[in-house]
Amino acid sequence: MFLKYLSELHGVSGNEKDVRDYIIENIDNNVDSYRVDKIGNLLATKKGKSNPAIKVVLTAHMDEVGLFITEITSEGYLKFQTIGYMDVNILVSKPVIINNSVYGVIGSKAIHLQKPEERKQSFLIDQLYIDIGANSKEEAEKNVKLGDYAGFTTAFTSFGSGFYKGKALDNRAGCAVIMELLKQQYNCDLTTVFTVQEELGLRGSKIISNYLNADLAIVVETTSAMDNQEQDRENWVVELGQGPACSLMDQATIYRPELIKKTIQIAESYGIPLQLREGTAAANDAGNIHLAGAGIPTITISIPCRYIHSMSSVISQSDYTNCIELINLILNNCQEYINLPHRGWEVMK
Residue 11 belongs to some domain of the structure: yes
Q: What is the CATH number of the domain that holds 93?
A: 2.40.30.40
pLDDT of residue 80: 98
Do 304 and 195 have their domain in common? Answer: yes
pLDDT at 219 exceeding the cut of 60:
yes
Do 88 and 200 have their domain in common? Answer: no
Q: Which one of 118, 152, 186 terminates a domain?
A: 152
pLDDT at 84 exceeding the cut of 80:
yes
pLDDT of residue 50: 83
Q: Write the Ramachandran bin of 306: left for phi over 0, alpha for psi from -120 to 50, otherwise beta.
A: beta
Question: What's the total number of domains in the chain?
Answer: 2
pLDDT at 118 exceeding the cut of 70:
no
Do 236 and 301 have their domain in common? Answer: yes
Cα separation of 6 and 62, whole Å? 9
pLDDT at 345 exceeding the cut of 60:
no
- Residues 313/165, Cβ–Cβ less than 8 Å: yes
Do 36 and 73 have their domain in common? Answer: no
Tens-place pLDDT, residues 252-267 = 999 999 999 999 999 9
Confidence of residue 313 (pLDDT cuts 50, 70, 90): very high
pLDDT at 288 exceeding the cut of 70:
yes
Confidence of residue 234 (pLDDT cuts 50, 70, 90): low
Residue 162 belongs to some domain of the structure: no
pLDDT of residue 230: 62
Residue 242 belongs to some domain of the structure: yes
Residue 320 belongs to some domain of the structure: yes
Q: What percent of the chain has pLDDT over 90?
A: 83
Which residues carry out catalysis? 198
Tens-place pLDDT, residues 23-51 = 999 999 999 999 999 999 999 999 999 88
Domain encompassing residue 122: 66-152
pLDDT of residue 347: 47
Q: What is the mean pLDDT of the chain?
A: 92
User: The whole model's pTM is what?
Assistant: 0.93
pLDDT at 243 exceeding the cut of 90:
yes
Per-residue pLDDT, averaged over 51-56, amounts to: 88
Residue 157 belongs to some domain of the structure: no
Residue 160 belongs to some domain of the structure: no
Edge-to-edge order in the sheet of strand 313-316: 157-159, 163-166, 313-316
Q: Which one of 93, 123, 152 terminates a domain?
A: 152
Number of Cα atoms under 13 Å in the Cβ half of residue 126: 0
pLDDT of residue 170: 96
Residue 289 belongs to some domain of the structure: yes
Residue 33 belongs to some domain of the structure: yes
Q: What is the CATH number of the domain that holds 267?
A: 3.40.630.10
- DSSP 3-state assignment of 64? strand
Do 182 and 285 have their domain in common? Answer: yes
Q: Which one of 129, 152, 175 terminates a domain?
A: 152
Confidence of residue 53 (pLDDT cuts 50, 70, 90): confident
Report how far apart, in Å, the C-alpha atoms of 313 and of each of 14, 16, 288, 300 are.
Answer: 21, 19, 26, 20
